[in-house]
Structure 1
Amino acid sequence: MTSLWWARRDLRLHDNPALLEAQRTADAAAVFAWTPALHWWSGRRSAHLARSLWSLREDTGGALAVRRGEAAQVVLAAARQVDARVVFAAQEFSPAGVAEQGAVAAALEADGRHVEFVGSPYAVAPGRVLKSDGTPYRVFTPFLESWRAHGWRAPAIPASPDRLARLAPADNDVDLDLHAAHCDATDPVYPQVEFREARLLEAAEDFVAHDVERYAAERDRPDLDATSHLSRELAFGQIHPRTLLGMLSPLRNEGARVFQSQLAWREFHADTLWHAPQAQRHSLTVVLDEDDWAHGAAADAAFAAWREGRTGFTLVDAGMRQLAQTGWMHNRVRMVVASFLVKDLRVPWQRGAEHFRRTLLDYDHAQNQLNWQWVAGTGRDASPFFRIFNPRTQLERFDPHLRYVQRWIPELDTPAYPAPMIDHREARETTLHLYHQAKARR
């Protein structure tokens, strides 16, 4: 009997428990649902998804079917087509992912079939790392210690592409070439992007073998190529964090330990959103009164200047232009641009998070929402609201030779570059005054 693998955020053959389980007793068919929700993605991000699916389809000898429609509709139709009584899939934990898998489970159950969730996009699934009293962690450092103590399974063996059964063509198959064409070779990000799984694993191994040792010392420098560049692959499920942890396990240097902790932050945020799903839209901690946030035409103009990289603060503008041109931004710069929007311009973090959702190629829902809440001082174990980044000090510290800002602001040091839109010192003092007033009233 044929089983069915419902591909979700696990677009790979290596270390894929759901696919392995689908192949355990029989050949498995494979389907991915190109849902209406993907229409909200940026052209660049949907193109990346299309190219990732195209590469996986190639690696599976054409066996992966990609079909348009709601997941429940697509998965049920594929299960009926191959008479699969059981569908295997990785479990998701975001509010949208939970709702989607609930709808799929209900549709299958009504048809005498069922879904089994095996594995997740995390080394340790949300909800498994708890305090001794059974409650979730609210502070990262003890979560990290408990997460490390909990441990994770060794990476699973690669699934066999030869044991994937081909689904018959369907009228609603998605034209991956058409979607991939949203970003052609002229896009500055694409000459640097690899999609084939073997090459992605090689790149990860190369980073761990040659670059992770300097990661702790250099990861905050946007002028240096010192990050892993693996956030896209983690977001799309082209590589599993457990695979990276397996590569790191023999190492004892500080860079490896810091890189491991960055993977743990990803899991901490997923855990936080699992326990507090309201965090996707609402602050977990109130820092200012509603009337203290910027609204109306002035806020819209300030947000537009920030979004377009014309605030007059070079590190902020360079980061926003890098995001617009490539769909990616260095992590240190993400913190600086977010702090500037929320604490200098007093624009609610939700507006910045939504802009990142629309533009980031490596968008991960829990990471995005909770990282914004971290900077805004409203999340779990967040940076205190009164910690306000000085964009100039950050520039001097992390881009001392101005290589990063000169790359992204060609008109720097010319009359075409705008003067600072605000006085940072005055904005900081105003924000702190409003914060202390609001705190006194609570």
Structure 2
Amino acid sequence: MTRPSIVWFRQDLRLADQAAVAAASADGPWIGVYVLDDEGPGPWAIGGAQRWWLHHSLTALGEALRARGGRLVLRRGTSPDILRKLARDIDARTIHATRHYEPWWKAAETVLSGGDLELRLYDGNRLAPPEGVLTGARGRYRIFTPYWRALKEQMPPGRPAPAPHAIRAPHGAIESDALANWGLLPVEPDWAAGFGIWTPGEAGAHEALDEFLPVLDHYDEDRDRPSVDGTSRLSPHLHFGEISPATLWLRAAKRLHRQAEPWLRQLGWRDFCANIVDILPGYGDGNGRDAWDRMAWRRGAAADRDFRAWTRGRTGYPIVDAGMRELWATGFMHNRVRMIAASFLIKHLLIDWRRGERWFWDTLVDADYGNNAVNWQWVAGTGVDSNPFGRIMAPLVQSPKFDAGGYIRRWVPELADIEGEAIHDPHGAGLSPAGYPPPIVGHREARERALAASAEI
């Protein structure tokens, strides 16, 4: 009889356009396995918001597998140890898996590659493998624009493969954890009450794409306007691999052809972020430019007080506060506002970008190691490809520029009754709404302090 095999699911929780699933199905019977591994990632074990999403995504994947005759086994522990034991229990010799680029997943793949087990890795979570997008001298890109040009030369991606109609699972009982026992969902307090705007899972990802495609027509004009929100909101589905980037590329290009490039460029940026952490695996903890190791970030009680105000949306800058409150309520923040909020923490408050990165890691449903690290270092000016530190976003200018009034009124209810342009700077307009704090730092004062600190290095 054909030996069963294992499909090791990680951030690839789908059945369609999933090369590991297709290969296992062609081989014979197989089981899907998800290991909740909090040990391998160490300090990068997934945060609270991601755990909420994971619970619902695994529920959807398990249902999809059962509907086709397959099954999903859940285990908790160190991935290589769990997979080896399971392989012995069911007499499997092959593990099929999608290739990942986070350092802890690459380490686990290396461990599993030795011994009697055969680990077969497949591409598919990126538009192209990072190591396959090379310079003319066969080197790796560290700057996005030339990377994007080289990536486009390899596009379009291949046609996505459909999900298998039926799956053969091995006979016999296989022990599995109960998902509810993992405690992924918050209980007291239930801080995820506002997360109902999301539908995790493969079907939810395709529904989100269908909803976004008509919006794509105006993406280039509306993506920076938080009150309109012309963004796709597909990032958590992409992070958990519930839909393939090839599917997104081909559907968008079919609708708008070359006019889809502003959005396709965002998919390219996601690939670029994976490329950077593949080259520099410690990028989530270390400055991309060594000189910034000497930066005198603020520390101590005053910095901690300002950091708490930032996390709670109590800085006195309406667009920053709206973004931080949207994040806490929904696990998401509009992309333009993410940049403004990150710049405020780094340059107005002079707080190390890594503190903000960690906060986003715990509170974003789409928290991704590569995206999170590269984007924070881009804003901070510390990255290998980044915005110069001296370019300091002025929240009181950014807010009216991108028409954020409606967004602020929604997320900062203390300001809901303020009309007109005063919504962007109520204190500057001579208004002091009850319960809303004054700015914790002045823009000019903050700018001068930030530039002086950066001048020291």
With normalisation by structure 2, the TM-score equals 0.89
User: Is contact 2:381-2:389 (8 Å) kept?
Assistant: yes
Residues 380-434 of structure 1: CA deviation (Å, up to 9, x unaligned): 321111110001001111135x111111111225221000011111211221233
Match of 1:393 among 393, 397, 422: 397
3-state DSSP of counterpart to 2:230:
coil
For residues 403 and 145 of structure 1, the distance between their equivalents in structure 2, rounded to whole angstroms, comes to 37
| Distance change >3 Å, CA 421–CA 162, structure 1 → 2 | same
Equivalent residue, structure 2, for 1:47: 52
Q: Does 1:433 align with 2:433?
A: no
For residues 172 and 64 of structure 1, the distance between their equivalents in structure 2, rounded to whole angstroms, comes to 8
Deviates more, 1:78-87 or 1:166-175: 166-175
Equivalent residue, structure 2, for 1:265: 269
Q: Which ranges of structure 1 fall in alignment gaps of 5 or more residues? A: none
For residues 113 and 287 of structure 1, the distance between their equivalents in structure 2, rounded to whole angstroms, comes to 44
Equivalent residue, structure 2, for 1:98: 106
User: Is contact 2:17-2:124 (8 Å) kept?
Assistant: no
Equivalent residue, structure 1, for 2:301: 297
For residues 35 and 174 of structure 1, the distance between their equivalents in structure 2, rounded to whole angstroms, comes to 15
Residues 355-404 of structure 1: CA deviation (Å, up to 9, x unaligned): 1111111111000011000000111321111110001001111135x111
Equivalent residue, structure 1, for 2:30: 28
Residues 239-292 of structure 1: CA deviation (Å, up to 9, x unaligned): 111110111232446651111000101111110111122322111125657362
Letter in 2 for 1:104: L
User: Is contact 2:28-2:168 (8 Å) kept?
Assistant: no
How many residues align? The count is 432
For residues 83 and 153 of structure 1, the distance between their equivalents in structure 2, rounded to whole angstroms, comes to 36
Deviates more, 1:361-370 or 1:38-47: 38-47
Q: 1:216: how far off?
A: 0.6
Letter in 2 for 1:192: I
With normalisation by structure 1, the TM-score equals 0.91
For residues 179 and 211 of structure 2, the distance between their equivalents in structure 1, rounded to whole angstroms, comes to 33
For residues 165 and 62 of structure 2, the distance between their equivalents in structure 1, rounded to whole angstroms, comes to 10
User: Is contact 2:288-2:383 (8 Å) kept?
Assistant: yes
Equivalent residue, structure 2, for 1:15: 17
Deviates more, 1:428-437 or 1:26-35: 428-437
Deviates more, 1:373-382 or 1:189-198: 189-198
Q: Does 1:191 align with 2:196?
A: yes
Q: 1:82: how far off?
A: 2.6
Deviates more, 1:289-298 or 1:418-427: 289-298
User: Is contact 1:342-1:349 (8 Å) kept?
Assistant: yes
For residues 170 and 85 of structure 1, the distance between their equivalents in structure 2, rounded to whole angstroms, comes to 16
Deviates more, 1:56-65 or 1:8-17: 56-65
For residues 172 and 29 of structure 1, the distance between their equivalents in structure 2, rounded to whole angstroms, comes to 11
Identity of aligned residues (%): 35
Letter in 2 for 1:308: R
Letter in 2 for 1:57: G
Q: 1:307: how far off?
A: 1.2
3-state DSSP of counterpart to 2:120:
strand
Letter in 2 for 1:50: H
**Structural mapping, 1:316-355, within 5 Å:** 316-355=320-359
| Distance change >3 Å, CA 317–CA 169, structure 1 → 2 | farther
Deviates more, 1:246-255 or 1:386-395: 246-255
3-state DSSP of counterpart to 1:280:
coil
What is the alpha-carbon root mean square deviation over aligned residues?
A: 2.3
Equivalent residue, structure 1, for 2:247: 243
Equivalent residue, structure 2, for 1:154: 158
Equivalent residue, structure 1, for 2:426: none
User: Is contact 1:287-1:385 (8 Å) kept?
Assistant: no
| Distance change >3 Å, CA 356–CA 199, structure 1 → 2 | closer
For residues 99 and 13 of structure 1, the distance between their equivalents in structure 2, rounded to whole angstroms, comes to 25
